[in-house]
Amino acid sequence: MTTKLKVVVIGGGSSYTPELIEGFIKRYEEFPIEELYLVDIEPGHEKLETVGALAKRMIEKANLPIDVHLTLDRREAIKNAAFVTTQIRVGMLDARSRDEKIPLKYGLLGQETTGAGGFAKALRTIPVILDICHDIEELSPHAFLLNFTNPAGIVTEAVTKYTKVKTIGLCNLPIGTKMSIAKMMDVDVSKVDIEMVGINHLNWTTKVWIEGKEITSEVLDIMSGAKGVTVKNIPDIEWDPEFIQSVGMIPCSYLRYYYMKDKMIEKQLQDFETKGTRADEVRKVEEELFKLYKNPNLNSKPIQLEKRGGAYYSEAAVQLMTSIYNNKKDIQIVNVKNNGLISCLPDDVSVEVNCVIDSEGPTPLQLKTTLPPHIRGLLQIVKAYEELTVEAAVHGDIQAGLQALTIHPLVGSAELAKKIFKDILDKNKEYLPQFNKSNDNNGGIK
């Protein structure tokens, strides 16, 4: 095991990193990190230097003895780490922008993690994450991998199926949901408990308690016809009151894409005309952020970072590391192997559920809710899409990819699936070597 408490952040040059640093500073007493390695690749070198310098200033201001190392040498960084986090974007924002535009061209949702956009991102990302995992297996087999890289649920599933790494998939939505409910009910977030069931970006808050008293139906009543529980990257279109009551639980913000498909696509097409895709918007926010980060007098996380959908993700990350480190046995909502918990899904898939966190990692809690058919049906079909996507990404399996896209409720057509898949392969050649087996330059799609 490690001698010093070492944490590695792969994708350390991300504009989100100051948020993570703020989390480490806040929880230093409980989680006295000694070595922090921020790792990036050559194209991200400049960003790494800028973000790394800000991280050092933040830590200096807090007067904490954390050694910050900036490096392009991933293997050196991983050696003897206790925790490795990944927050990478293969192909960077340009690739995200293409992922969002391809489905839109066919009148379908163009989104970073959901639908065909998420499929493309998974194909590019999974091979790189598996490579990182092979380094972890060799150089730091006891390390926990906390994966934030999107699509987080699918990536986590690929890691649990194809490596021995102890991995936990993380998202900011569970914490964000608790925060929104706390705001709605006008109580401190520490008083709110929720049960969340589902898979990443497709889950339902099945129960809500405030100081132990169940208030699920009150929250549903407030949400009926209302706006409010969403993240910065998803339009806040209000829920239909009768519909939300019929769901009987609180859908996560991404479920708007399924339950209000037409309205959401219409909104996306309108936004596209005026401001481009979300990636184009994010590019502007990033430019603004990096300008601020370069200021040698800045030594705290700028408020502008809250314009990003992933705001507060460090809460999830640092809370999780702290609980593992201190064997806390508290409850957190993370992505883990199903192992029979959600009985309508296979054992070896990833699910996002309440877990008890101790020094061994997460152990899922038995569900307090039986899933009704409308939840079960959607969950099963999107999970089947995810399983097929993992196979396509790992093996360069065209047939699995075509089936994945075809059955996805936001594609739902073999003809469109084929066109979209062909476009994805065309536009991502340098990032999808697993499909280069065939002499045909589209990996076998005509």
**Please, what is the minimum distance in Å from the beta carbon of residue 215 to ligand G6P?**
24
Distances, alpha carbon 108 to alpha carbons 111, 142, 271, in Å: 9, 43, 14
Q: Which is nearer to ligand G6P, 92 or 381 (CB)?
A: 92
Q: Which tokens go with 77?
A: 């960084």
Please name which of 416, 104, 106 lies closest in space to residue 269, comparing C-alpha atoms: 104
Q: Cβ distance 77 to 8 under 8 Å?
A: yes
In the complex with ligand G6P, the residue whose CB is nearer, 169 or 396, is 169
Q: How far is the CB of 442 from ligand G6P (least distance, A)?
A: 29
Are residues 81 and 7 in contact, defined by beta-carbon separation less than 8 angstroms? yes
Size of the site for ligand G6P (CB under 6 A): 12
Binding segment (CB under 6 A) for ligand G6P, from list 50-58, 170-178, 339-347, 361-369 = 170-178
**CA 35 – CA 244 distance, rounded (Å):** 47
Contact region with ligand G6P (CB under 6 A), list: 4-12, 157-165, 202-210, 227-235 = 227-235
CB closest to ligand G6P, residue no: 309
In the complex, the smallest distance separating the C-beta of residue 308 from ligand G6P, rounded to whole angstroms, is 4
Residue 150 found at the interface with ligand G6P (CB under 6 A): yes
- For the chain, the residue count is 446
Q: How far is the CB of 413 from ligand G6P (least distance, A)?
A: 27
Supply 211's token pair: 């100081």
Q: Is 173 in the site for ligand G6P (CB under 6 A)?
A: yes
Q: Considering beta carbons, is residue 14 or 140 the nearer one to ligand G6P? A: 14
Q: State yes or no: residue 233 binds ligand G6P (CB under 6 A).
A: yes
Residue from 44, 310, 362, 364 binding ligand G6P (CB under 6 A): 310
CA distance 65 to 53: 16
The strand pairing partners of 168, in sequence order, are 146
> Comparing C-alpha atoms, which of 11, 18, 9, 147 is closest to residue 81?
9
Asked if 171 is part of the footprint of ligand G6P (rule: CB under 6 A), the reply reads yes
H or E element in which residue 168 lies: strand 166-169
172 binds ligand G6P, rule: CB under 6 A: yes
Compare residues 233 and 354 and give the one whose CB is closer to ligand G6P.
233
User: Taking the CB of residue 107, how many other CB atoms lie within 10 A of it?
Assistant: 11
Euclidean distance between CA atoms 143 and 81, whole angstroms: 6
* 231 makes contact with ligand G6P (CB under 6 A): yes
CA dihedral of residues 206, 209, 213, 216 (deg, nearest 10): -40
Provide, rounded to whole angstroms, the least separation between the CB of residue 96 and ligand G6P.
Answer: 8
| Candidate list 12, 169, 309, 443; residue touching ligand G6P; CB under 6 A | 309
Q: Does the active-site annotation cover 385?
A: no
* Binding to ligand G6P, residues 258-297 (CB under 6 A): 278, 282
CA distance 164 to 60: 37
Shortest CB 259 distance to ligand G6P, Å: 18
C-beta closer to ligand G6P: residue 140 or 354: 354
Classify the C-alpha dihedral 320-321-323-329 as positive or negative.
positive
Among 16, 37, 106, 254, the active-site one is 254
Catalytic residues: 254
Q: Which residues bind ligand G6P (CB under 6 A)?
A: 150, 171-173, 231-233, 278, 282, 308-310
